[in-house]
A and B are shown apart, each in its own frame.
Chain A
Amino acid sequence: MQHFSPSGLSLPSPSRRTMLRGIGGAAVLGAGIPLLSACGGSGTASDPKTVTLGSKASDAVPKKAFADIYAAYKKKSGITVDVNTKDSNTFQEQINSYLQGTPDDVFTWFAGYRMQFFAAKGLATPIDDVWKTIGDNFPEAMHKLSKGEDGKYYFVPLYTYPWAIFYRKSVFQENGYEVPTTWDDFVALCKQMQKDKLVPIAFGDKDAWPALGTFDQINFRQNGYDFHVELMAGKASWTDAKVRKVFDLWTEILPYHQEGAMGRTWQDAAQTLASKKAGMYLLGTFVAQQFTDKAALDDLDFFAFPEIDPQFGQDTVEAPTDGFMMSKSPKNKAEAVKLLEFLGTPEAETVYLKSDPSSVHASTKADTSSYTALQKKAYDMIAGAKSLTQFMDRDSRPDFTSTVMQPALQKFVRDPKGVDGLLSSIERQKKTIFASG
């Protein structure tokens, strides 16, 4: 359409009509903005045979695994699940405005504080009636995880994955290492690995969240599950001697962590474990996704974070759980309830895990016969746990963990000597954030 003249002098000016058309277009665009943000398959809302579902599962593997569940449900009930998938980061960033706009009937989300937060804000529907049907499928710990602060159920768990210390069986065999169960054994093993020219603990904190996991493990081993909950809820003080002790223990093992963690992603750190340059790595079972070589994957094993205080032993397991919630006013509530009942069955979980074997069932009734050795171990670890935690950014206010804790722990890892000033700074910032309601 545009005519460029070589001289640059005789450019034809656009006629009034084209200008007007442009304005009209802009007006339509402007009117289109609210429509865009409301896109959630609203066109099919009145269809009783359809339930809409907002999904953050945008990666290929989970996307297919979720699609398999919905296909199985359609086969069983004749109801179509109209899925609206968004990029997972975008979904998380926009969850706020998404739930306040015209959300889908059901949406994928996380258990723990992050679920309770939206439940308390009235942006989700309580689903006690769903739990009457599916309750028996889940262990007590999962019941606890699925309730809001008001004691009502808001969440249907689908799968979970524990955090643990991963290692290569062959490396331990060749060097005659034994799995450490106490803190002293663990420190001694780190020292030995360093002598053997291995990086004792692989570490990458470029994305700022992996260090939160290390803090969690030391904290609930040293101070127990209850203190973890109090601290995360903003009730316990960060200047408490108990917290200081966590950082002292961390300082003790920090020299055995991989150098330059702040410039390395967890994927790169996982590669040092895969290539046998590192001896151990503390992460969730999703670390297995980085083991593309079948032989290396079979060689991968893990053990629970060692005991620090015998009073608490190893009874707490960090196991983030993902699942579903119902939005505040679903258009097709009757069918949404039925869908959630199906999603809470061992059957739905099994369909999911068939395509994505890096996690385990949230239900204890599920069929575990097709599990890999790693999955079996993960499952036993969770089933045997007295308490389950959800990871710092799911157990506490996300604004606190992302704007205060992530930079603070990065600072600590770089300069462990400044811990006292750091802790009082965290405590001061925590007070303002938790006071803001």
Chain B
Amino acid sequence: MTTQTTKEIPEAAAVPPPGAAPAKKVSQGHRRLLTRRDRLTLGLMAGLPTILHIALVWVTALASVALAFTTWDGIGFDSIKWVGLENFKELFSNNPQFWPAVQHNVIWFVVLIVIPTPLGLFLAVQLDKRIRFSRVYQTAFFLPVVMSMAVIGFVWQLIYNPDTGLINSVIGANEPGKYIDWIGDPDLNLWAILVAASWRHTGYMMILYLAGLKGVDPSLREASALDGANEWQTFKNVIFPTLRPTNTVVLVVTIIEALRAFDLVFVFNKGAQGTELLSILVTNNIIGESSRIGYGSAIAVVLLLISLVVIIPYLVATFRKERRA
């Protein structure tokens, strides 16, 4: 049964089929057939991407880790000064925006997992029933995912603009005394942005779950129907457990979305009071005419460490599973 379903789940395509192991033997047999040109070609094909990867991913990542222990204004290499842990000390004790930023990244994750994810699952389950116009709904819910975050930011600003926006104009909250500042009030703006982010995330989750649901063996549903289970029982005890691989993907995708959150907020209010995010602090410190590259790198390193704490356990778990298989 499992082999049958893996063919139909798109994410499963990333997992190498179990038959990949004997590949080594095959290549040995072909070795003699490789001409000098073939070897050169292969070398280029493997070598160039490796060099690009090392230069653009590893060297830059390691360089920013190294720079986190220096101060540098970006002008000439001789102005790089070693300061040890000074940047981190400054960051943890002295930067009024740092802890709010960490907190907001966490809130971002919790909200995405608590609201749009179940909503996406709910929509997917409904659409999976092959109701009428199901394709229309599917398209409508998925549409926000196709849009760039920056565009979503612009669209939602038209709704939230405190003077001329849709909400305040409709409920009359753009007058003195009744004023609601959706973008500027730090008690409101993070939630306002999260609504926009959730609006997009729901469609994303829906598509992932829909793909997962398509892979559920129809005979399972039949069997549970024969056993007299109602719809909710079927979902809870039969369907949802089979969605386990999808749930893992959803969790990882949501964590990544929460950590890389940037564009929407940057367009919305540049990470002002109430919407600070780590990614925005990094950008604010590094980009500019006289930048604090060392300090910005220190924030980037914190972001990297948080990402590693989340991703390493996931990778360990995945590889362990693969080995078992």
Contacts and interface: CB of A to CB of B under 8 A. Distances in A.
Interface of A: 16, 19-20, 23, 26-27, 30, 92-93, 95-97, 100, 114, 117, 121, 123, 199, 205-208, 259-264, 268, 271-272, 397-399, 402-403, 407-408, 410-411, 414, 425, 428-429, 432-433, 436-437
B260 interface: no
Interface in B165-188: 176, 179-186
> Which of A27, A206, A428 has the most chain B CB atoms inside 10 A of its CB?
A206
Contacts of A205: 184
Contacts of A259: 176, 179, 181
Contacts of A429: 90, 94-95
Given A205-B184, A262-B272, 20 more contacts: A20-B44, A20-B45, A26-B48, A27-B48, A92-B289, A93-B289, A95-B289, A96-B75, A96-B291, A206-B269, A263-B161, A263-B183, A398-B289, A399-B292, A407-B96, A414-B273, A425-B96, A436-B71, A437-B71, A437-B79
A264 B289 contact: no
A260 B181 contact: yes
Contacts of B160: 263
Interface of B: 41, 44-45, 48, 52, 71, 73-76, 79, 81, 86, 90, 94-97, 160-164, 176, 179-186, 189, 269-270, 272-273, 284-285, 287-292, 294
Nearest to B95: A429
Main secondary structure of the interface of A (DSSP, over half): helix
Contact of A199 (B52, B75, B86, B176): B176
A20 B46 CA distance: 11
Task: Give the top 8 A-B pairs by smallest Cβ distance, nearest first.
Answer: A262-B184, A263-B183, A260-B181, A263-B184, A436-B71, A259-B179, A263-B162, A263-B181
B68 to A, nearest CB: 14
Contact of B44 (A23, A92, A100, A432): A23
Contacts of B186: 414
Contacts of B176: 199, 259
A186 B182 CA distance: 31
A257 to B, nearest CB: 11
B185 A263 contact: yes
Main secondary structure of the interface of B (DSSP, over half): loop
Contact of A268 (B163, B284, B289, B292): B163
A398 B52 contact: no
Scoring B44, B74, B284, B290 by chain A CB atoms within 10 A of each residue's CB, the highest score goes to B290
A26 B86 CA distance: 40
A20 to B, nearest CB: 6
Contacts of B41: 16, 20
A164 to B, nearest CB: 24
Contacts of A93: 287-289
A123 B292 contact: no
Contacts of B290: 96, 117, 397-399
A357 to B, nearest CB: 28
Contact of A260 (B184, B284, B285, B287): B184
B185 A96 contact: no
6 contacts: A16-B41, A26-B52, A260-B185, A399-B73, A407-B273, A436-B71
A432 B90 contact: yes
A264 B75 contact: no
A429 B71 CA distance: 14
B162 A260 contact: yes
Contacts of A262: 181, 183-185, 269, 272-273
Contacts of B179: 259-260
Nearest to B79: A437
Contacts of B288: 92-93, 96, 398-399, 402
A272 B95 CA distance: 35
A272 to B, nearest CB: 8
Nearest to A207: B270
B94 A436 contact: no
Contacts of B75: 96, 100, 121, 123
